[in-house]
Structure 1
Amino acid sequence: MSIELSIVMPCLNEAETIESCIKKAFNFLTRNNISGEVVIGDNGSVDGSQQIAIGLGAQVIDVKLKGYGSATRGAIDNANGKYIITADTDDSHDLENLIPFLDLLRSGYQFVMGNRFKGDKLDNAMPFLHRYLGNPVLTFIGNLFFKTNVGDFHCGLRGFTKEAYNRMELKTTGMEFASEIVVKASMLNLKTIEVPTTVFPSGRTRKAHLRTFPDGWRHLRFLLLYSPKWLFLIPGLICMVIGLVSTAYIMGSSKNHYFVWLPCTTSLFLISFQFVLFFALTKIYATNHSLIPRGKNYNKLFKYFTLEKGLLVGLLMFVVGITFMFLSFNFYQETSDILKITIPSSIIIAMGIQLMLFSFFFSILGLGDTEHKIGS
């Protein structure tokens, strides 16, 4: 019989709660006459969790690479179901009420997210900082960066099709896996919906594996690294406008005491230019290494920007900067007037050299994508 649903749970020393989780999962499958399985991704438990799971009929996958994401991916890779629902093994998820997830997957949705904030709010179900600070802030940032409309970025109870999972090509190994799957679903334009779910207080007595601030930083770092637009491009463009406007104002001002700010404003413009170049390089690298999905306009980058064009523009900038610097020494006598020309000229020279170097690196990164471009 083909398996319709795989209920997947990562595990690391969860002997206190894993029995309850597996029984609830099997009860759900039996009660609703669903052809399914329970798959445990064990991450090196030493408390007998594996034996408990095997004794209850679950499939146990030994995952060597440490981390929440690694254990979850290891289990999903070995799952046989058409649909996957993930949960934690701390007995905090409502595993006996998964029909809303499964019905939506059956109806054509590719990704179904649980939302703990829309479900029943039980006392002590979530730590105060997680409920009122960490999760809301990271969810807001995730929605802003990736144009998602998710109310609970980090709910561990979620469902998706196995086909959608394969398309996501997930990479992360730690707790940031919870963010990656939402981000990839958005980037791939998967048909997504949220459902309310109830979260219960954890059934374990030991300290949770989740570390509030280190794992919160891992989530934030992931969101930044997977969005080069917000990490490099937008800050770069903002600084570029500030640097350009302030430099132009100083250059046109007759008040010499403003002149002391010219090195700062021109340097800000140069730094912002580097941010924009880093955006392009990061975007290409991340796309070529399947960290982010290939956008529909990706190949146009290599069509409209080539090594030859970049070298030509960079060389022109270099020549213009050298020319203005030379003219300033020959046509101006006052030191302040000379520096008003030589400082911006030196920035243009530096930008020209950077653009030429960027063009070479840009082309090198593009070499690995030649096969795709030829076939496109």
Structure 2
Amino acid sequence: MKAVTTPPPTVDVVLPCLDEAEALPWVLARIPDGWSALVVDNGSTDGSAEVARRLGARVVREPRRGFGSACAAGLAASTADFVCFCDCDASLDPAQLIPFVDEVRAGSSDLVLGRRRPAGRGAWPAHAQVGNRVLARMVRRRTGTALHDLGPLRAARREALLGLGLTDRRSGYPLQMVVRAADAGWRITEHDVPYLPRTGASKVTGTWRGTWNAVRDMRRVLAEPPTPPQSSSPEGRSR
């Protein structure tokens, strides 16, 4: 009898993870059917990796601390045609990514971002919103792209993302992705998504200091001169 093989997933969802054992069950339960959850353990001490494996996720260990390090490791480990990114703290619902991927697959967008809309008291601290608005204005001036948020919920083609040659390994990674995509002429769109109160303490924007560090990382990215990507045309774009 011929062996039945399971086709590889067409979508990988990269989930940077640092001590998110409590949030993981909800997040992984919301991964769309047929998609693959790729949890990047960035030095957790609460058993997050074991929880993720038990719930059926692929786990990649990235010992170098930093949001960008975790995202880059996830992208490098992905094998699907499309790659999504989502926080692993239950503040964002990965099921919201379905229309994002559909849009990229259809060729109407090259990079789709989620514009966070607070959906609960304390979901988005005021200082974090202020920092985000300032950075969004800077991005609009730098790229001409009409964005309002630099949120982590996003989708694009894997090969195209690899072609951007992203180098930031700290909080500037999501911004560098947008800037380099805009420099390459990608079509970037954003859609409203509910932003829920996170599970556990924030590692980045939970305090003024964390927000300032993130803003500092992103200002450094904005100061970089335009860098021609390795491949400027996202795979599958209609011409």
Please confirm whether the aligned pair reaches a TM-score higher than 0.5, indicating the same fold.
yes
Residue 20 (structure 1) aligns with: 26
Residue 59 (structure 1) aligns with: 58
Segments of structure 1 that go 5 or more residues without pairing to the other structure are 30-34, 228-282, 284-291, 296-376
RMSD: 1.7
**More contact order relative to length (CA 8 Å, sep ≥ 6):** 2
Q: Tell me, yes or no, if structure 1 residue 78 matches structure 2 residue 77.
A: yes
Supply the distance in 1 between the matched residues of 2:167 and 2:22 (Cα, whole angstroms): 30
Task: Tell me the amino acid that sits aligned with residue 124 of structure 1.
Answer: G
Which residue of structure 1 lines up, in the alignment, with residue 125 of structure 2?
127
Matched positions, count: 219
The aligned counterpart of 1:142 is 139
1:193 is the counterpart of 2:197: no
Query: CA offsets, 1:51-78, max 9 Å, x none?
Result: 0000111000011221100011101111
Structure with a larger share of its residues in helix = 1
- Partner amino acid for 2:113? M
CA contact (8 A) 2:119 2:197 kept: no
Separation in 1, partners of 2:178, 2:48: 29
- How many angstroms apart in 2 are the aligned matches of 1:294 and 1:190? 11
Gaps of 5+ in 2: 1-6, 231-239
Runs of 4 or more consecutive aligned structure 1 residues displaced over 4 Å after TM superposition: none
- TM-score normalised by length of structure 1: 0.56
Partner of 2:165: 169
Distance 1:147 1:53 in 2: 39
TM (norm. structure 2) is 0.86
Bigger radius of gyration, 1 or 2? 1
Counterpart of 2:228 in structure 1 is: 293
Deviations 1:327-376 (Å, cap 9, x if unpaired)?
xxxxxxxxxxxxxxxxxxxxxxxxxxxxxxxxxxxxxxxxxxxxxxxxxx
Displacement after TM superposition at 1:165 (Å): 0.7
SS of equivalent residue, structure 2 residue 43: coil
- Name the structure where strand makes up a greater proportion of residues: 2
Identity %: 27
- Counterpart amino acid of residue 142 in structure 2: F
Q: Provide the secondary structure at the position in 2 that maps to 1:97.
A: helix
Cross-structure match for 2:237 = none
Instruction: Tell me how far apart the structure 1 counterparts of residues 183 and 83 of structure 2 sit (CA, whole Å).
Output: 20
Partner AA of 2:91 in structure 1: S
Code of the residue aligned with 1:65 in structure 2: it is R
Matches within 5 A, 1:207-356: 207-210=202-205, 211-224=210-223, 226-227=224-225, 292-293=227-228
Q: Structure 2 vs 1, CA of residues 217 and 23 (structure 1 numbering), >3 Å: closer, same or farther?
A: same
CA contact (8 A) 2:14 2:86 kept: yes
Deviations 1:145-199 (A, max 9, x none): 12222111x2010111102111111101111111111001101111222111111
